[in-house]
A = this chain, B = another copy of it.
Amino acid sequence: MSTEVQESPPRQKALTIGAVCKQLEREFPDISISKIRYLEDQKLLAPRRTAGGYRLYSPGDVQRLRTILRLQRDEFLPLRVIRQELAAGRADPEVADKATPEPRALRRSSVAVRGPGALYGLDEVLEDTGADRALVKELEDYGVIKGERRDGEVYYDDTEREIIRAVTELKRFGVGGRNLRVFRTSADREAALLEQILAPALRSRNPERRKEAVEALENLAAIASHLKHLLLIRDLRKLAR
């Protein structure tokens, strides 16, 4: 319940890389110094440094590392996905949590900016989302979705299908039509913001750099989505009382 707050500065709890390694090797036998450094190289960690360049890991850093190793060992997640999960704050730092209702909820990589490319026919999408034809038309008119015309048929990708699903649900609550513009314009504005930041790299002729930029974009998107979510909650809490 009450959060005990300690007064004095018990800061100073930072460890060197070797100490971290020793501390974790009981729980994760295949840890190593080089591996920890590698994880940093992959942008999964960012410990602070001493003047001389030594890495110093705070308890928070160590906890983050523990989470990374657990996701890797128990959930088999690739580092690229772990990075996004962490950026989006979607990873529970709790370890000894009580029963998880579902051992493994579907976790569809939620920030796949490079599309997988699966396409769905219109009827399939309608069936699947419970939307009606008029709604889809409306969304197309608003330019929210576009579909891909191919020999007389329209196909939608998975993001579009999910958009249709979400909008259908919102409609059941009475959010529809022009109200959706609120969402659209804010998304557009954020995209513009992110583009502005990454524009040079995205247009680089060096494919290496472009790949990095797309990855950064995915990470930024994950964090941005998370932030928006949090801000909305913050607003709604005020509302709810």
Tell me if A228 and B186 are in contact (CB < 8 A): yes
Tell me if B118 and A26 are in contact (CB < 8 A): yes
Question: Copy number in this complex?
Answer: 2
A149 within 8 A of B: no
Give the shortest distance, in Å, between A126 (CB) and chain B (any CB): 10
Interface band, chain A: 35 or more
Tell me if B179 and A107 are in contact (CB < 8 A): no
Contact with B along A153-169 (1 / 0, CB 8 A): 10100011011011111
Give the docked Cα–Cα distance between A107 and B117 (Å): 25
Tell me if A202 and B239 are in contact (CB < 8 A): yes
Tell me if A163 and B230 are in contact (CB < 8 A): yes
Tell me if B237 and A232 are in contact (CB < 8 A): no
Report if A182-B191 is in contact (Cβ < 8 Å); known contacts: A216-B173, A234-B160, A237-B116.
Answer: no
Contact pick for A239, options B3, B89, B110, B195, CB 8 Å: B195
Tell me if B223 and A169 are in contact (CB < 8 A): yes
Give the docked Cα–Cα distance between A211 and B183 (Å): 26
Report if A130-B46 is in contact (Cβ < 8 Å); known contacts: A118-B26, A231-B183.
Answer: yes
Instruction: Find residues 61-113 in chain A having any chain B CB closer than 8 Å to their own CB.
Output: 73-78, 81, 87-90, 98, 103-113
A positions within 8 Å CB-CB of B:
3, 5, 9, 11, 26-30, 46, 48, 58-60, 73-78, 81, 87-90, 98, 103-121, 123-124, 127-130, 144-145, 153, 155, 159-160, 162-163, 165-170, 172-175, 179, 182-191, 193-195, 197, 202, 214, 216-221, 223-237, 239-240
Given contacts A173-B223, A187-B232, 7 further A-B contacts (CB under 8 A): A5-B124, A76-B78, A103-B169, A104-B169, A162-B230, A174-B197, A187-B235
